């Protein structure tokens, strides 16, 4: 019998009448059942979070107590690290090496970081002004809805939860309906940490079923969403019914620029990682790679050879370098982009099809795919594919390359590869993106903010800036006029 995962509401695990089978994308087989939240369950979650914030003990506990709860969650993740990594791989298909060495330990470190820094981040500020003194306070927003995508279900849930809780908010967390398992497993860790009832509520259902109810409700003070631009626009519309704070981390069409003086091997492996890690299902995926003329032919030859050698397989196999796409529908979407690119004249240099390997037949696998001769007018150049599809382009004019990098609706991330780091830093200033890596890719730090511009969204995750997104700023002014009444006393002082 496959395991069953209930909802987590008001400090209790709640079974529901409706259940959903959760599928392993490597095999297409159900690996668990998850409770599906009804409208009534959503109502209960919102009511629980609201009561916990307004009348519960959470807002009154000391920062040291809040820190202790967060450290308990971090410790709980570490203690269940092997189980969580295996579950993440089963549910997403990503290689177990990624879950084990990246996702799970990073999730634990996020809770640890914000636990250890919440006092510093929340430090009040006082300003002496003419005839007055100001106290500037960072307060929690209140009830925060956290909506998490399917590509990094545990890690992104931890990014959002750690900040929201450290800032003193109460939470309703909704994982993706495709990948709810590690979030629901995280509920057990949170319950074991002993947080007051209602501070964290974790529900599961499709966004189409409960998204509007969650996001339009006036009991919600803030929404933090990571996902597609299309869904993000719906959430913005829902939230307009009752105005609330939003963090929107949306899509990307990120790019790498490889200069002629770059270390070839580092640039190659970095660019391969930037598009084929997690099957290319990353908003920061460097799906467009621009290589300077003098290096282009060597780069492409080696890039294609290495891409063809990437080992596809079941995520639980430690030899696997790339797993399946998340679902059959996602694979159909990727195939449609590939076929359209071919029809528009792009040159398919590698991959582009479902692998003809018997052991991969039942999963949602797709070959690492590389296109050349991609023009800026092609759909595959402008739109987010969210799959293992790279577009390689040569350039001779650096300003022209920068214009192409900036010439999409998205502005999330970029990578620059060059030995001359001062030149790379200068180029970084010309690129319209929220995060730019030089001679590396995908380095996220809990100390540093992350987020994009344009259609990639607004608001930040991580760092002090990301933490303070989950707070509201209050200004308290005390009149200190000496030997005179305050100015307003004279206004109507008859």
pLDDT of 230: 96
Quick: pLDDT tens for 115-133: 999 999 999 999 999 889 9
pLDDT of 493: 65
Range of the domain at 41: 4-250+456-476
Residue 34 lies in a domain: yes
pTM above 0.95, yes or no: yes
**Are 151 and 186 members of one domain?**
yes
Residue 20 lies in a domain: yes
**Are 277 and 408 members of one domain?**
yes
- For 195, which DSSP code? P
Residue 491 lies in a domain: no
Whether pLDDT at 193 is above 90: yes
**Are 259 and 242 members of one domain?**
no
**Are 233 and 117 members of one domain?**
yes
**Are 153 and 229 members of one domain?**
yes
pLDDT of 482: 79
Please report, in angstroms and rounded to a whole number, the separation of the first and last CA atoms in the chain: 83
**Are 231 and 378 members of one domain?**
no
pLDDT of 494: 59
The tokens of 83 are what? 């189980």
Residue 153: which CATH number?
3.40.605.10
Residue 445 lies in a domain: no
**Are 266 and 313 members of one domain?**
yes
Residue 226 lies in a domain: yes
Confidence label for 238 from pLDDT (cuts 50, 70 and 90): very high
Whether pLDDT at 38 is above 70: yes
The one catalytic residue in 163, 215, 271, 283 is 283
The answer to whether 163 is a known catalytic residue is no
Confidence label for 290 from pLDDT (cuts 50, 70 and 90): very high
The mean of the pLDDT values for the chain is 97
Q: Which residues pair with 224 in a beta bridge?
A: 146, 247
**Are 141 and 67 members of one domain?**
yes
The answer to whether 283 is a known catalytic residue is yes
pLDDT of 112: 98
The tokens of 227 are what? 């996902």
**Are 345 and 408 members of one domain?**
yes
Quick: pLDDT tens for 343-389: 999 999 999 999 999 999 999 999 999 999 999 999 999 999 999 99
pLDDT of 489: 77
pLDDT of 278: 98
**Are 296 and 220 members of one domain?**
no
Confidence label for 40 from pLDDT (cuts 50, 70 and 90): very high
Q: What is the mean pLDDT of residues 266-280?
A: 98
Percent of the chain with pLDDT over 90: 96
The tokens of 297 are what? 């032919």
Number of independent structural domains in the chain? 2
Q: What is the mean pLDDT of residues 422-451?
A: 98
Residue 331: which CATH number?
3.40.309.10
The one catalytic residue in 88, 98, 185, 249 is 249
d(CA 161, CA 166): 8
**Are 182 and 316 members of one domain?**
no
3-state secondary structure 60-104: HCCHHHHHHHHHHHHHHHHHCHHHHHHHHHHHHCCCHHHHHHHHH
- For 483, which DSSP code? S
**Are 277 and 246 members of one domain?**
no
């Amino acid at each position: 019998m496959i395991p069953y995962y209930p909802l987590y509401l008001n400090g209790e695990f709640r079974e529901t009448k409706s259940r959903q089978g959760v599928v392993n994308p490597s095999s297409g087989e159900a690996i668990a059942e998850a409770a599906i939240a009804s409208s009534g369950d959503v109502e209960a979650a919102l009511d629980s979070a609201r009561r916990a914030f307004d009348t519960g003990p959470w807002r009154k506990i000391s920062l040291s107590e809040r820190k202790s709860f967060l450290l308990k969650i971090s410790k709980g993740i570490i203690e269940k690290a092997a189980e969580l990594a295996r579950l993440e791989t089963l549910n997403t298909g990503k290689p177990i090496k990624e879950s084990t060495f990246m996702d799970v330990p990073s999730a634990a470190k996020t809770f640890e970081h914000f636990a250890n820094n919440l006092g510093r981040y929340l430090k009040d500020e006082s300003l002496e002004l003419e005839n007055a003194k100001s106290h500037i306070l960072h307060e929690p927003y209140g009830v925060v809805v956290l909506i998490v995508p399917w590509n990094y279900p545990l890690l992104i849930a931890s990014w959002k939860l750690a900040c929201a809780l450290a800032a003193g908010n109460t939470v309703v967390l909704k994982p993706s309906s495709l990948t709810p398992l590690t979030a629901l497993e995280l509920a057990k860790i949170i319950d074991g940490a002993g947080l007051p009832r209602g501070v964290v509520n974790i529900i599961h259902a499709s966004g189409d079923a409960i998204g509007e109810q969650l996001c339009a409700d006036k009991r919600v003070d803030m929404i933090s969403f990571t996902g597609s631009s299309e869904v993000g626009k719906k959430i913005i519309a829902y939230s307009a019914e009752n105005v609330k704070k939003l963090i929107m981390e949306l899509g990307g069409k990120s790019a790498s620029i490889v200069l002629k003086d770059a270390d070839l091997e580092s640039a190659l492996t970095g660019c391969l990682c930037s598009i084929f890690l997690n099957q290319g299902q990353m908003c920061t995926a460097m799906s467009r790679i621009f290589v300077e003329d003098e290096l282009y032919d060597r780069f492409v030859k080696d890039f294609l050879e290495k891409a063809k050698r990437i080992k596809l397989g079941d995520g639980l196999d430690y030899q696997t370098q790339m797993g399946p796409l998340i679902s059959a529908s996602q694979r159909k979407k990727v195939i449609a982009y590939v076929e359209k690119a071919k029809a528009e004249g792009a040159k398919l240099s590698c991959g582009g099809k479902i692998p003809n390997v018997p052991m991969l037949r039942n999963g949602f696998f797709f070959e690492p795919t590389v296109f050349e001769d991609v023009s800026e007018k092609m759909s595959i150049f402008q739109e987010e594919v969210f799959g293992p599809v790279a577009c390689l382009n040569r350039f001779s004019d650096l300003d022209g390359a920068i214009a192409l990098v900036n010439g999409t609706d998205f502005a999330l991330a970029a990578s620059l590869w060059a030995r001359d780091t001062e030149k790379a830093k200068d180029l970084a200033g010309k690129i319209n993106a929220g995060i730019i890596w030089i001679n590396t890719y995908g380095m996220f730090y809990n100390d540093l903010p992350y987020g994009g511009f344009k259609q990639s969204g607004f608001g930040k995750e991580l760092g002090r800036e990301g933490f303070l997104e989950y707070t509201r700023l209050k200004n308290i002014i005390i009149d200190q006029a000496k030997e005179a009444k305050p100015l307003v006393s004279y206004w109507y002082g008859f």
